């Protein structure tokens, strides 16, 4: 191709790009004008008073949802929620509340360890009758929570009915900056194996991990389990800082590619604390975003053995940008890639399993990449563990007990009846019978999965006009699947007890004790510890 042809071709590309940009700008202006015209016409002629705020917010939300699940609008009044999202901190007394009846009192469900709530003597089961002189009757749970929050250093007065004595007292509590740690528990699983449970990626979680690792090493740790199961992610910078604890300075952790920023690489900038310590990273379908950055980097750099089940598959980067009237938008600006070049983003947002994790991806749609030592890894959605270890599959009954708050309500009943319990407490046979009697009085869907499918099949047979001709078979199957609450509860006792024990231990000894209880029953972790680590 001669010089003239090259110049002509380049000019054509530039002009086509310019035309495309002009076309996009024209379409944006066109739709903005149409939207404004519709609103003006509605304001002028709609039969009722126009709820502008509601319909505009609905329109914005629908527009952003059409892009991806993570781009969201945050108005000024929700900035506190954004602060909680970024730093897991807020101004308040530090307690989870429960309000089963809008016309009743607020119940202290769980005070946080070392919080103002704990320091001033509030405990699980105490009832808040008034907040700053206003009755809590008629308030929603959110309204009550908003009244309890406030600027650190300010005081809030409560009228409290104490759980065990019934005494009514006034308590003035000075609010503090409440920070919920992402490292909710760490400790030794045995004489050589350290364990860290990390629940998020907010500000300075890497510092929490560093401190935990150093403490565990002092306790004799020779191997570390970093548990990221259920960790939905957070700040990318904290993910980079966590990887930097275990790999040489200057190592590539993640790169991002976006329209406005081009390609950016994020490398470790600090000296590690240990590059030889054997690592196990535990993940599952709830491990997403920054969890996948840490997991993918440690896997690609051949620094850890990843165990569990495939991760969620969120390989998108969000950036917070300011908007008029003190609003903000959290917008997807780039995709991120692990050191080997993998993008963990699910190929299709819509194709998800029931738990939200990535559905099956055909091999024909995936690509192979190589780790630092030449092992093959694939993209296509999430991180596939080096060693697959499946978790426990819970029955529909257990899910129903949790989501219907039956276990939570029983926990409050238990606390009212037991002023204290020993640190090695476990649920006794009499406690279990008490729970069953309690649950039997509650309304919840206790059908088995088989029974729900059967009920659905019955409806389909009726639609098809086959129910009468198959009446005997249907009745026989129905009787075979019929099970009363008590029978089904007792059948699933071993599965339900850990949930009850964890909730009760949290109320007396805080979150760490609850996680320790959970670990006692963690068959997936126990199996993972029997698997050989990959030799790098």
Local confidence pLDDT in tens for the 536 residues of the chain? 555 555 455 545 444 455 555 677 778 888 888 988 998 999 899 999 899 899 999 999 999 999 888 899 999 888 777 777 778 899 999 999 999 899 999 999 999 999 999 999 999 999 999 999 999 999 999 999 999 999 999 999 999 999 999 999 999 999 999 999 999 999 999 999 999 999 999 999 999 999 999 999 999 999 999 999 999 999 999 999 999 999 999 999 999 998 877 889 999 999 999 999 999 999 999 999 999 999 999 999 999 999 999 999 999 988 889 999 899 999 999 999 999 999 988 766 555 566 555 555 666 677 899 999 999 998 888 999 999 999 999 999 999 999 999 999 999 999 999 999 999 999 999 999 999 999 999 998 888 777 777 788 878 878 888 878 887 787 777 777 777 889 999 999 999 999 999 999 999 999 999 999 999 999 999 999 999 999 88
Q: What is the pLDDT of residue 524?
A: 98
Q: Which helix (H) or strand (E) holds 18?
A: helix 3-45
Q: Is 342 helix (H, G, I), strand (E, B) or coil?
A: coil
From the list 88, 99, 159, 314, the catalytic residue is: 314
Q: What is the pLDDT of residue 408?
A: 95
Residue 472: count other Cβ atoms within 10 Å of its Cβ.
8
Q: Which two tokens stand for residue 368?
A: 């192979």
- Rounded Cα–Cα distance for residues 379 and 361 (Å): 10
Q: What is the pLDDT of residue 521?
A: 97
Angle at 393 between CA 387 and CA 399, to 5 degrees: 140
Distances (CA, A) of 246 to 30, 138, 200, 279, 476: 53, 53, 19, 9, 61
Q: What is the pLDDT of residue 13?
A: 46
Q: Which two tokens stand for residue 83?
A: 């602060």
CB 236 within 8 A of CB 293: yes
CB 163 within 8 A of CB 415: yes
From the list 300, 379, 386, 522, the catalytic residue is: 300
Q: What is the pLDDT of residue 460?
A: 82
Residue 125 region by backbone torsions, left for phi larger than 0, else alpha for psi between -120 and 50, else beta: left
Give me the phi and psi of 437, to 5 degrees please.
Answer: -65, -40
Q: Which ranges constitute the DSSP H helices of 372-448?
A: 396-403, 406-417, 429-440
Q: Which two tokens stand for residue 441?
A: 């009085």
* Residue 372: Cβ-neighbour burial (10 angstroms; 0-12, 13-18, 19+): middle
Q: How many residues belong to the chain?
A: 536
Distances (CA, A) of 175 to 116, 129, 139, 154, 456: 7, 18, 21, 6, 52
- Rounded Cα–Cα distance for residues 139 and 105 (Å): 9
From the list 244, 251, 289, 291, the catalytic residue is: 289
Residue 65 region by backbone torsions, left for phi larger than 0, else alpha for psi between -120 and 50, else beta: alpha
Q: What is the pLDDT of residue 355?
A: 56
Would you call 467 a catalytic residue per the annotation?
no
Q: Which two tokens stand for residue 393?
A: 């599959």
User: Dihedral through CA 55, CA 139, CA 79, CA 183, nearest 10?
Assistant: -130
SS3 string of 276-299? CCCEEEEECCCCCCHHHHHHHHHH
Q: What is the pLDDT of residue 470?
A: 83
Would you call 27 a catalytic residue per the annotation?
no
Q: What is the pLDDT of residue 81?
A: 74
- Rounded Cα–Cα distance for residues 195 and 203 (Å): 21
Would you call 314 a catalytic residue per the annotation?
yes
């Amino acid at each position: 191709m001669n010089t003239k042809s090259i110049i002509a071709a380049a000019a054509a590309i530039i002009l086509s790009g310019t035309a495309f940009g002009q076309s996009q700008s024209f379409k944006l202006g066109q739709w903005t004008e149409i939207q404004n015209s519709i609103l003006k016409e509605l304001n002028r002629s709609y039969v009722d008073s126009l709820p502008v705020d509601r319909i505009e917010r609905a329109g914005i939300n629908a527009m952003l949802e059409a892009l991806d699940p993570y781009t969201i609008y945050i108005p000024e009044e929700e900035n506190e929620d954004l602060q909680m999202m970024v730093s897991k901190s807020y101004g308040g007394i530090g307690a989870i509340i429960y309000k089963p009846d809008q016309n009743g009192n607020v119940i202290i469900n769980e005070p946080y360890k070392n919080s103002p709530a704990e320091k001033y003597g509030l405990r699980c089961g105490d009832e808040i009758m008034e907040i700053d002189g206003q009755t809590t009757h008629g308030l929603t749970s959110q309204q009550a929570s908003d009244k309890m929050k406030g600027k650190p250093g300010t005081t809030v007065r409560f009228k409290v009915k104490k759980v065990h004595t019934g005494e009514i007292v006034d308590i003035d509590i000075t609010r503090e900056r409440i920070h919920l740690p992402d490292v909710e528990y760490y400790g030794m699983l045995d004489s050589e194996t350290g364990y860290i449970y990390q629940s998020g990626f907010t500000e300075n979680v890497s510092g929490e991990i560093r401190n935990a690792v150093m403490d565990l090493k002092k306790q004799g740790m020779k191997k570390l389990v970093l548990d990221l199961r259920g960790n939905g992610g957070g700040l990318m910078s904290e993910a980079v800082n966590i990887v930097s604890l275990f790999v040489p300075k200057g190592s590539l952790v993640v790169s991002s590619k976006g329209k406005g920023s081009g390609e950016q690489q994020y490398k470790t900038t600090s000296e590690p604390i240990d590059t030889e310590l054997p690592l196990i990273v535990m993940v599952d379908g709830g491990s997403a975003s920054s969890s996948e950055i840490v997991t993918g980097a440690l896997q690609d750099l051949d620094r850890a053995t990843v165990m569990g089940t495939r991760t969620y598959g969120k390989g998108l980067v969000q950036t917070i940008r300011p908007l008029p009237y003190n609003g903000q938008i959290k917008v997807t600006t780039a995709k991120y890639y692990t050191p080997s070049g993998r993008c963990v983003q699910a190929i299709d947002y819509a194709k998800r399993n029931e738990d939200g994790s990535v559905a099956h991806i055909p091999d024909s749609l995936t690509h192979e990449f190589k780790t630092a030592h030449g092992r093959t890894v694939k993209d296509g959605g999430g991180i596939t563990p080096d060693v697959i270890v499946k978790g426990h599959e819970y029955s529909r009954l257990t899910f129903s007990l949790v989501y219907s708050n039956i276990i939570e309500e029983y926990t409050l009943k238990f606390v009212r009846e037991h002023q204290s319990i020993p640190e090695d407490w476990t649920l006794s046979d009499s406690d279990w019978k008490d729970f069953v009697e309690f649950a039997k009085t509650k309304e919840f869907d206790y059908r088995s999965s088989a029974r729900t499918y059967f009920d659905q099949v019955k409806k389909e047979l009726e639609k098809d006009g086959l129910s009468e001709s198959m009446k005997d078979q249907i009745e026989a199957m129905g009787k075979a699947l019929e099970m009363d609450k008590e029978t089904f509860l007792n059948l699933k006792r071993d599965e339900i007890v850990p949930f009850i024990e964890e909730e009760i231990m949290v109320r007396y000894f805080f979150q760490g004790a609850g996680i320790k209880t959970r670990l006692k029953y963690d068959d997936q972790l126990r199996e993972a510890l029997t698997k050989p680590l990959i030799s790098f």
